[in-house]
Amino acid sequence: MAAGFVRCMYCGDSLGTDIDHFKPIARDPLSAFIWKNHFLACSHCNSNKKRDQYPCSPSGECLLVDPSREDPYDHLRLTLPTGKYRGITEKGSETIRVFGLSRPDLELGRAHAYARCGSMLRDWSAQIGGGREDLANTVLKSLSVQPFADVLYVMIKNSDAPGAANLFEAEILAALQKVRHILNVQ
Ligand SMILES: [Zn+2]
């Protein structure tokens, strides 16, 4: 979520054409004037999916990942080859439900982005190996925006998880560890 220039902050897939009030005006009219309550969204996420939904826990905590403050990785897991998200917290599950992050078009897009990320990382390594840092930087720039950014982020996070060597081939794993350092992903 929220990875990519001018893209929807929820699905990351479409152009951000709408302004969504994260906390709906119907629920809190005064929040209409709070700048940090205004998120860039696509019309599908805003008008067809989220609308006025704002689920909360019994203690009043919002059960949607706020992409401006929270790391979705703490609440969502992405199965890279299928592009499917699953919730690992109640907030993660509610976020998938409310924003419709399991839409088939989104899952297919993430799966395709994963395949392309692998080939781009191989290309990045080859350019670094050949001393063409300028070309390597161009590849990395493309990887850092959608449709690749959120998939690359998960790949980087998974690159130091137990079993990472089974998830990624050695060349990709080595590239991910270097890219992690360059992009300063914690
Ligand atoms: Zn969207």
Cβ–Cβ under 8 Å, residues 98 and 64: yes
Distance 110 CA to ligand 1 centre (A): 14
Q: pLDDT tens digit string along 48-104?
A: 889 999 999 999 999 999 999 999 999 999 999 999 999 999 999 999 999 999 999
Confidence of residue 186 (pLDDT cuts 50, 70, 90): confident
Q: pLDDT tens digit string along 124-149?
A: 999 999 999 999 999 999 999 989 99
Residue 32 to residue 183: CA distance in whole angstroms: 35
pLDDT surpasses 70 at 2? no
Distance 125 CA to ligand 1 centre (A): 32
pLDDT of res. 6: 85
Between 72 and 2, residue with greater pLDDT: 72
Cβ–Cβ under 8 Å, residues 45 and 53: no
Distance 51 CA to ligand 1 centre (A): 12
Distance 74 CA to ligand 1 centre (A): 20
Distance 28 CA to ligand 1 centre (A): 23
**Prediction pTM value:** 0.91
Distance 15 CA to ligand 1 centre (A): 8
Distance 127 CA to ligand 1 centre (A): 34
Determine the straight-line distance between the first and last CA of the chain, rounded to whole angstroms: 17
Question: What does the buried/exposed string (b/e) look like for 136-167 if buried means 16 or more CB atoms within 10 Å of the residue's CB?
Answer: beebbeebbebbbbbbbbbbbbbbeeeeeeee
**3-state secondary structure at position 41:** strand
Q: pLDDT tens digit string along 98-121?
A: 999 999 999 999 999 999 999 999
